[in-house]
Amino acid sequence: MTRIRAAMFALALVAAPAAAQVGYAPSASPYRDLPWKQSLGVFAGGFDTGRDPAGVGPQPGWLAGVRYDLRIGGPVSLVTRLALAPTSRRVLNPTKSAATRYIGDESSQLLAADFGLAINLTGQKSYHHLVPVLSGGVGIASNFRGIPDDGGYRFGTRFSFTWGLGVRYHTAGRWEPRVDFTNYVWQLQYPPDYSVKPADGGAAILPSGKKSPWMGNHLWSLGLSYQLFR
């Protein structure tokens, strides 16, 4: 009975959009087909990085980039994004006491690249011009620094997971605005010295914390895409 109920529920979800169109004249229907197969766009927004235990990861700022979408079947598209976040990060000396270990801030140009899938939750149609989208993928994040800072830490290049939600606004033309929330998740790796007490016997930077924490980094962005190829 549980399987039967689940199957009936799934069929109801699939049938709901089609049923909702019954009774509308074509010109008055809230649904509109999405004819375009590809799009190229730009996006920018506020980048709220995770507060890591040591406080040496990339700091909050803004992020901007480009994206390419390719519809591969029905409401599913392949998405590739490349973005840059000109941010900064704190530098700590683990051999110093808590009061004196802060060295300063350094510039950290953060590159984020990801590849994944996006699915239109209203199928291959818009509803009152709106298309809610669910997405997920994998990628990398890098700050281009090949050597550790003065405190022995470097962000380097990190494997990342991404997931997000968005809303596209379908227009009669080729230009399409959108708003998105994206969570970039990556793992930091602290040097061993961060868990060692300084010479004065005070607390270490990470007295009992994780040396490899996973961090969520949130992006709220506005974008504009140009539609290509029907």
The SS3 of residue 17 is helix
pTM comes to: 0.83
Spatial distance between the Cα atoms of 137 and 83, rounded to a whole number of angstroms = 15
Domain count, the chain: 1
The SS3 of residue 83 is strand
Count the alpha carbons within 13 Å of 193 in the hemisphere toward its beta carbon. Answer: 16
The answer to whether residue 28 sits within a structural domain is no
Instruction: Grade residue 15 by pLDDT with cuts at 50, 70 and 90.
Output: very low
The answer to whether residue 18 sits within a structural domain is no
Q: What is the pLDDT of residue 9?
A: 45
The answer to whether residue 5 sits within a structural domain is no
What number of residues does the chain have?
A: 230
The answer to whether residue 62 sits within a structural domain is yes
The answer to whether residue 67 sits within a structural domain is yes
The answer to whether residue 2 sits within a structural domain is no
CA 57, 61, 65, 71 torsion: positive or negative? positive
Question: Can you give the residue range of the structural domain that contains 165?
Answer: 37-228
The answer to whether residue 60 sits within a structural domain is yes
Average pLDDT over residues 129-155: 92
Secondary structure (DSSP) of 203-229? --SSSSS-SS-EEEEEEEEEEEEEEE-
> Residue 162's domain is classified under what CATH number?
2.40.160.20
The answer to whether residue 144 sits within a structural domain is yes
